[in-house]
Amino acid sequence: MKIVGVGHYAPPRVVTNHDLESWLDTTDDWITTRTGMKRRHWASEEEATSDLATAAASAALVHAGMRAQEIDCFIVATVTPDYYFPATACLVASKLGVTDKPAFDIGIACSGFIYGLTVASGLIRSGVYQRVMLIGAETLSKILDKHDRSTAILFGDGAGAVILQRSAEDSFLASDLGADGSRPELLYAEGSGARRPLDHAALDAKVHLIHMQGRETFKLAVQRMVDATGSVLKKANLAKADVTFLVPHQANRRIIDAMARYLDLPDEKVVVNISEYGNTSAASIPMALSETVRAGLVKPEDLIVFVAFGGGLSWGAVAWRWTA
Ligand code: UT7
């Protein structure tokens, strides 16, 4: 299979580090040096994840020169669905005018796009579907405690979409996924699920919002993403020097830099857009890919490694050979 179209969308409202300074005990300097973030986009009250996802998917359809009716299956990777159920993918397909095709969500936080690529690869390469729309989309601003400086500064909203199509040339070289659910509390939104249904006490305790133990998560992120990249290259019988672009999940500039150092990758091979969007969870990789492809930087035969780490804990990497 190969990618035949990419698209991305971020809501117009921009929140800068200086904006955050106006209500949080933080500084532009702290946020910039500790995270690499300068701005993030936050959705309006009227906008939900399906709106962002639909905008990104529409852009990908235009890019591919395709109609939504030609897509066989819609997948949305998200942890901020419009509703607890139905799946956001159903809403997106219908907004695109499609009401008879399969659509489902993948809820594995920041690793969602990597898991999605792997699932889509199974569906397409086995011949079940010809064309899959895979979207990573989040409105994390809706589950942020805007008064918790340890998380409020980090997360943003956005969506990225790819259209995957069965083809003679196979871009999908290998995948390496993992998960460890023994410590969900390192990064989670505890409330409103079956374990802690929402009631007044839960709301007062803000358990429906994102909680993260940043320092511990940071260390695991570097280790897991370096290991996943090494494993996926080994599975694909490739070396670090073969990598044209690393497209990592954008959680922290320091995590990305540490990873690049371990992998001996120079800056020009590492795609970073964190200063503009912050951490957009499942959306970060497809947004970064779409920007890079649309800038004309990706050439046929380029080797791209996508790699992510996040809530679950979960992680994964996919090795991808770009085909025209
Ligand atoms: O997307 C899924 C994966 N996510 C990640 O991988 C995120 C991983 N974690 C991180 O990126 C970093 O741990 C953070 C950016 C969240 C935090 O950076 P850090 O360098 O680990 O800071 P820290 O939590 O160790 O805090 C250092 C100090 C503390 O003050 P004291 O106790 O040393 O006096 C914090 O209270 O910085 C303080 N601090 C802040 N100061 C100004 C924490 N947040 C802020 C803030 N502004 N926004």
The percentage of the chain sitting over the pLDDT mark of 90, rounded to a whole number, equals 98
Enumerate residues 6+ apart whose C-beta is below 8 A from 143.
80, 189, 208, 209, 210
Render pLDDT for 297-308 as a digit per residue (tens, 0 to 9): 999 999 999 999
Q: How far apart are CA 77 and CA 89, in angstroms?
A: 9
The best mutation among 40, 140, 143, 150 to test binding of ligand 1, ranked by most ligand atoms within 8 Å of the C-beta, falls on 150
Is pLDDT of 207 > 90?
yes
Q: What average pLDDT does the segment 296-320 reach?
A: 98
Ligand 1 pocket, Cβ-based, cut-off 6 angstroms: 26, 30-31, 34-35, 110, 149-150, 153, 187, 214-215, 217-218, 221, 251-252, 255, 279, 309-310
Give the per-residue pLDDT at 250. Answer: 98
Is pLDDT of 324 > 90?
no
Q: What is the DSSP string of 251-299?
A: S-HHHHHHHHHHTT--GGGB---HHHH-B-GGGHHHHHHHHHHHTT---
- Alpha carbon 191 to chain centroid distance? 22
Q: How far apart are CA 40 and CA 153, in angstroms?
A: 9
Let me know whether 18 and 164 are in one domain. yes
Using the 3D structure, point to which of 129, 149, 169 is the last residue of a domain: 169
Is pLDDT of 248 > 90?
yes
Q: What average pLDDT does the segment 63-84 reach?
A: 98
Residue pair 106/75 in contact (Cβ under 8 Å)? The answer is yes
Active site residue 249: yes
Give the per-residue pLDDT at 191. Answer: 85
Q: What average pLDDT does the segment 283-308 reach?
A: 98
Let me know whether 58 and 107 are in one domain. yes
User: Which amino acid is residue 195, in one-letter code?
Assistant: R
Let me know whether 244 and 288 are in one domain. yes
Q: How far apart are CA 268 and CA 7, in angstroms?
A: 22
- Alpha carbon 25 to chain centroid distance? 28
Active site residue 273: no
Using the 3D structure, point to which of 142, 169, 196 is the last residue of a domain: 169
User: Which amino acid is residue 71, in one-letter code?
Assistant: I
Task: Answer yes or no: pTM beyond 0.75.
Answer: yes
Total residues found in the chain within this entry: 324
Burial 255-264 (b: 16+ CB within 10 A, else e): bbebbbebbe
Q: Which of 73, 110, 252, 273 is catalytic?
A: 110
Nearest to 284 by CA among 131, 114, 143: 114
Is pLDDT of 177 > 90?
yes
Residue pair 198/191 in contact (Cβ under 8 Å)? The answer is yes
Is pLDDT of 267 > 90?
yes
For residue 216, the enclosing domain spans 173-321
Let me know whether 200 and 59 are in one domain. no
Active site residue 110: yes
**What pLDDT band is residue 150 in, cutting at 50, 70 and 90?**
very high
Let me know whether 148 and 216 are in one domain. no
Let me know whether 184 and 126 are in one domain. no
Let me know whether 108 and 178 are in one domain. no
Give the per-residue pLDDT at 182. Answer: 98
Using the 3D structure, point to which of 127, 144, 169 is the last residue of a domain: 169
Angle at 111 (CA atoms; ends 30, 247), nearest 5 degrees: 70
Let me know whether 83 and 198 are in one domain. no
Tell me what the pLDDT averaged over the chain comes to. 97
Nearest-CA residue for ligand 1 atom 18 is 34
Let me know whether 102 and 184 are in one domain. no
**What pLDDT band is residue 101 in, cutting at 50, 70 and 90?**
very high
Let me know whether 227 and 140 are in one domain. no
Whether the CA torsion 295, 91, 10, 309 is positive or negative: it is negative
Is pLDDT of 136 > 90?
yes
Three-state DSSP state, 133: strand
Q: How far apart are CA 159 and CA 49, in angstroms?
A: 8
Is pLDDT of 192 > 90?
no
Let me know whether 61 and 84 are in one domain. yes
Tokens encoding 309 = 């780490």
Let me know whether 181 and 282 are in one domain. yes
Kindly report the CATH number assigned to the domain that includes residue 26: 3.40.47.10
The structural domain count of the chain equals 2
Q: What is the DSSP string of 166-208?
A: --SS--EEEEEEEE-TT-GGGEE--TTSSSS---HHHHHTTTT
Residue 30 is classified by DSSP as H
Is pLDDT of 241 > 90?
yes
